[in-house]
Amino acid sequence: MVIESIPVGGEHEPTAEEIAEEMIPCPAHLRVFRELGHGGMGHVHPATDRNLLRHVALKRLDKSLATDGFYREGFIAEAQITGQLEHPNIVPVHELAIDGNGIPYFTMKLVQGVGLDRWLARNPVGSKERLEEGLEILLKVCDAVAYAHHRGVVHRDLKPANIMVGEFGQVYLMDWGLARLTRTRPASGGESQMEAPGPVGTPDYMAPEQARGIPAEMDERSDVFGLGALLYELITGKRPYGYDPDVDEMLARAREGKVIPIDDACRGVGVSKRIRTIAAKATSPNPADRYQSVAELQREVRDFLLGGLHLPRKAFRAGALIMQEGEAGDAAYMIVNGRCRAFRTVDGQQETLAIMEPGDVFGEMALLLDEPRAASVEAVDTVTVLVLDAATMNEGLGLEGWTGALVKALAHRFRNLEQRVRDSGLRR
């Protein structure tokens, strides 16, 4: 369990009133503190294990559900499944037991940190930090989900609130209470809950097959959708089905696969076409159209991240001059949103050379050849561009080596050819 700040151990002793109010079951070897929070079935408390002298998180089944076999078996299955998933991005379970009141509980590692939902709220949409660091977090979540799939476990409730980010870069995928086993069966009999018909997960992030509520249709690709929904929100600041406080309405949208086109959700946000395409494929309503494994999705995200397409972004208003003919070429640009006009000034008149759209690159020749700009570029609409400076390009292309020599040679030839064509036109 990850918390932002909670006193445990000797820093805070629960009062008699607190214990009476909370009705905390208290095994002899555990010192249990006030509740941190609760979900559909259980309550979570910080605690101190007196035997091992360490702080832990204790999750216990709600007292009113302790005698209901359906919930009791599901709670025990959650602890057993989580306990068998030994992975750096899954919080380890220490102990599963029944307290003196007959209520099952389990303890797990207690980590200082924040939920991904809080993390997203702190990092503005479109910022380099949100995209770059957020993708690093997502890749670690992919590691956890891929490992779970290897062990025959589908999570089925991937959402920011179930992902915890520690103080030193730790990332944990939490809450396996809705997990489904695809190959093996739990010894506790938790299969009854795992195979129960009905919608499973959180409507805002669930795949259409989860909303339809047929367990046999839910497989690893359902988690691919969940990961895609996380990526979608990371990029756009919105959720795939939009938002409506009416849960039934959200379930209906999920059931029908009414994913808002990511290009619509991204309007006004400078985001590369490549990462938008990845998110769109991962959140395809039809499982056959998604990535067929987490590894495929993860590979695409990692290639994007390593490819440098998370470069700094800059916005320009319509009519603003982005670069000017004759000035030093200290950067190149890729258009993300909007249109630009390239032009030269000939005999005091502007000569339009091209209208450029998203995906087009300009300014690279002057940057490569360390020469003055040969043309000016202005924003036709509100424009967002990726900015590539000399240092980043040199690092990415290795311009000090043979590849750099080749690129520069091609640039020289292209410039010479362009000059010949221009001179030919002037002679006519």
Could you list the active site residues?
Answer: 157
Distance CA 143, CA 147 (A): 6
Q: Per the structure block, which two tokens stand in for 214?
A: 């047929």
Burial of 267 (0-12, 13-18, 19+ CB in 10 A): exposed
Distance CA 257, CA 253 (A): 6
Q: What is the CA radius of gyration of the chain?
A: 27
Distance CA 167, CA 146 (A): 24
- CA dihedral for 412, 416, 417, 418, sign (positive or negative): positive
- Residue whose structure tokens are 């980010």: 165
- CA dihedral for 296, 212, 118, 151, sign (positive or negative): negative
C-beta separation of 199 from 251 below 8 A: yes
Q: Hey, what's the torsion of the CAs at 355, 358, 363, 369, to 10 degrees?
A: -120
C-beta separation of 389 from 330 below 8 A: yes
CA distances from 77 to 86, 99, 202, 220, 251 (A): 16, 17, 20, 19, 26
- What residues pair up with 115 in beta bridges, in sequence order? 164
Strands 111-115 and 2-3: parallel
